[in-house]
Amino acid sequence: MLEVCNIDTFYGKIQALWGVSLRIDEAEIVALVGANGAGKTTLLNTISGLLCPASGSATFLDKRIDGLTPHYIAELGISHIPEGRRLFPVMSVRENLEMGAYTYHAWKRKEETLEEVYRVFPLLKEREGQLARTLSGGEQQMLAMGRGLMSRPRLCMFDEPSSGLAPRLVLEVFKVIKTLREQGITILLIEQNVKRTLEIADRAYVLENGRIVSEGKSSELLQNNHIKKAYLGL
Ligand SMILES: Nc1ncnc2c1ncn2[C@@H]1O[C@H](COP(=O)(O)OP(=O)(O)O)[C@@H](O)[C@H]1O
Ligand SMILES: [Mg+2]
């Protein structure tokens, strides 16, 4: 579904990604693991078009997407649920959700999608008229995820969705991700909770200092000595 090939991304003169390659098949959950500053967010931003790679390519459903604008990439079916949620604080829950449907295809099906999103997150329906900034951290994350679904994506990329949440809500976030996959959505997941992430992912890539240093089935990475020591504290 998505093939990233040999990507180099820079911030000015500083190189943040070095020859990064990654593949995601349809209906997979793929995890991207790495310490702070490894380049995980930079890779997501490069895929969604917020950053343009200096070299390399990204192909989504057989179409080159590197160098395309973010709104066009969203239109093609990639949704990016960004780190730190990035809600519109003085808009209501419903308005935030509607903002997620601003692609040509999704806008026409906005009401129907809204019902689907409310089925996944009943709480958002209850809070429909409330301003986003007055929601709790967990509710805000649900809203960010809901907004990401409003474009009716084929691939959802989540950047640390459980960050800052209480343990019960962390479980809830992982449950939602599993539900989405059961509904046929493909998932690229960045998470600090490496053990739990590898437990739900099919495959994973490990990013260190802007380079992919290992990749494989999650079950195998869970047994890998370097991963155990560096990320699982074993
Ligand atoms: N806007 C930016 N300008 C300059 N450097 C940046 C910017 N954003 C991130 N970086 C640098 O790029 C590297 C990767 O950052 P990032 O992708 O945010 O890592 P991660 O998401 O894995 O924590 C870090 O060294 C970071 O300091
Ligand atoms: Mg990040």
Ligand number nearest CA of 207 is 1
What is the residue with the minimal CA distance to atom 6 of ligand 1? Answer: 11
Q: Which of 11, 17, 83, 205 to mutate to test the pocket of ligand 1 (most atoms within 8 A of CB)?
A: 11
**Domains annotated on the chain, with CATH:** 2-77+154-231 (3.40.50.300), 90-153 (no CATH)
Query: Residue 3: which H helix or E strand, with range?
Result: strand 2-11
Distance 116 CA to ligand 1 centre (A): 35
| N residues, the chain | 234
What is the residue with the minimal CA distance to atom 9 of ligand 1? Answer: 42
Decide: 191 in ligand 1 pocket, CB within 6 A. Answer: no
Ligand number nearest CA of 34 is 1
Q: Residue holding tokens 């997501």? A: 44
Exposure string for 13-30, b = 16+ CB within 10 A, e = fewer: eeebbeebebebeeebbb
Could you give the dihedral angle defined by the CA atoms of residues 57, 58, 59 and 65, in that order, rounded to the nearest 10 degrees?
-100
Q: Which of 42, 189, 212 to mutate to test the pocket of ligand 1 (most atoms within 8 A of CB)?
A: 42
pTM summary value: 0.94
Distance 210 CA to ligand 1 centre (A): 9
Distance 196 CA to ligand 1 centre (A): 24
Instruction: Read off φ and ψ for residue 85, nearest 5 degrees.
Output: 70, -45
Task: Determine how β-strand 63-64 pairs with β-strand 55-60.
Answer: antiparallel
Q: Residue holding tokens 């809600």? A: 87
Number of neighbouring beta carbons within 10 Å of residue 105:
12
Distance 102 CA to ligand 2 centre (A): 25
What is the residue with the minimal CA distance to atom 4 of ligand 1? Answer: 11
Q: What is the pLDDT along the chain (234 residues), one digit of tens a residue?
A: 999 999 999 999 999 999 999 999 999 999 999 999 999 999 999 999 999 999 999 999 999 999 999 999 999 999 999 999 999 999 999 999 999 999 999 999 999 999 999 999 999 999 999 999 999 999 999 999 999 999 999 999 999 999 888 888 899 899 999 999 999 999 999 998 899 999 999 999 999 999 999 999 999 999 998 888 988 887
Which tokens belong to 165?
A: 């949440």
What is the residue with the minimal CA distance to atom 17 of ligand 1? Answer: 39
**Edge-to-edge strands of the sheet including 78-81?**
78-81, 155-159, 186-190, 29-33, 203-208, 211-217
Instruction: Read off φ and ψ for residue 74, nearest 5 degrees.
Output: -60, -40
Decide: 36 in ligand 1 pocket, CB within 6 A. Answer: yes
User: Distance (Å, rounded) from C-alpha 162 to C-alpha 15?
Assistant: 28
Query: Residue 70: which H helix or E strand, with range?
Result: helix 70-76
User: Distance (Å, rounded) from C-alpha 55 to C-alpha 67?
Assistant: 10
The conformation of residue 131, written as its DSSP 8-state character, comes to B
**C-beta separation of 59 from 2 below 8 A:** yes
**C-beta separation of 163 from 10 below 8 A:** no
